[in-house]
Amino acid sequence: MKSLPFLNPAAGSPAVRNPGRPAVIVPTQAIDAEELAAECAAAAATGIVDAVEWRIDPLLAAASGSVLTRAEAALSLLPRALTAGLPILLTVRTGFEGGQVEITEDDYAEAVRALIAGATGVEVGDRTAAAAGVESGVPGAAASGVPVAIDVEIDRAESRSLIASAREAGVPVVASHHNFEVTDSAERLLATFTAMSEASADVAKVAMMPQTPADVLRLLEATSTADASSAAPVLGISMGPLGRTSRIMGADFGSCATFAQIGQASAPGQIDAVVLAEILDRVTG
């Protein structure tokens, strides 16, 4: 298991203190500033969360105007998320992959490009994000010194150029691929991990729906194989109740992080974050 590459050392969260422990990432689907600030603060207050994923697809779906206007509306809220001090993973989960925003390939690329620019240019206080990133040495750090990373769906038409743009801007990238129906074949899973690694993603993540225990095993084996052959951290998730082994013991198969819920889950099978942290305390110390 490799470490999640956008932890915030200053947060002193469990994965920061113990590099052998997978990062716990908690999603928020907040669509306004108050909800976002409150959910990030609540996650930080538990002391067991390492990063927050802000799923902005519900906000993009609810807002009106061009995709650029809607992405900018989301970005204007980002400083509220950063005040809690936990790293933020910005995710536009499209309808293609089980998310809430129906979006064209062109609009997805435009939204992600706007988010990359915003993640490097967020102003908190009087320093620019890019300057703070250089000073703090934290990749993708916003002005507060809190890392901001971005999710890019590897199957989107412009994924490779989006990943290249994010890396050029110093924003860490989590490449994603989801199948909410079944679990891909072993060959397809490995090809997906390889494509993510070849595109230079900072984390290669797949989330699959199992139908049988053998599907969970195939996902875990592919994750472990990909971890052994890739320089970048990997993350393999088997969703639904059947896949919970992957969310609890995934680190033993190479996963650098696990998604857990506080309040609303963002995918089937997520475990309560506090309960999961207690289990991880017991099994990983």
Helix (H/G/I), strand (E/B), else coil: 102: coil
22 binds ligand DQA (CB under 6 A): no
Bridge-partner residues for 204, per DSSP? Answer: 175, 234
Q: Which is nearer to ligand DQA, 138 or 267 (CB)?
A: 267
H/E stretch holding 259: strand 257-259
Tell me the closest approach of the beta carbon of residue 134 to ligand DQA, in angstroms: 28
94 binds ligand DQA (CB under 6 A): no
Is 113 flagged in the annotation as binding?
no
Q: Which two tokens stand for residue 188?
A: 């397809």
**Which of residues 27, 133, 210, 254 is near ligand DQA by CB under 6 A?**
27
- Interatomic CA distance for residues 221 and 216, integer angstroms: 9
**Which of residues 21, 70, 80, 93 is near ligand DQA by CB under 6 A?**
93
**205 catalytically annotated:** yes
**Which of residues 26, 90, 203, 207 is near ligand DQA by CB under 6 A?**
207
C-beta separation of 234 from 204 below 8 A: yes
Helix (H/G/I), strand (E/B), else coil: 197: helix
User: Quick one: CA dihedral 26, 31, 37, 39, positive or negative?
Assistant: negative
Helix (H/G/I), strand (E/B), else coil: 239: coil
Residue ranges of the annotated binding site are: 53-55, 93, 247, 266, 270
Residue ranges of the annotated binding site for 3-dehydroquinate are: 53-55, 93, 247, 266, 270
Active-site residue set: 178, 205
Point out which residues bind ligand DQA (CB under 6 A).
Answer: 27, 53, 55, 91, 93, 151, 176, 205, 207, 237, 239, 259, 266-267, 270
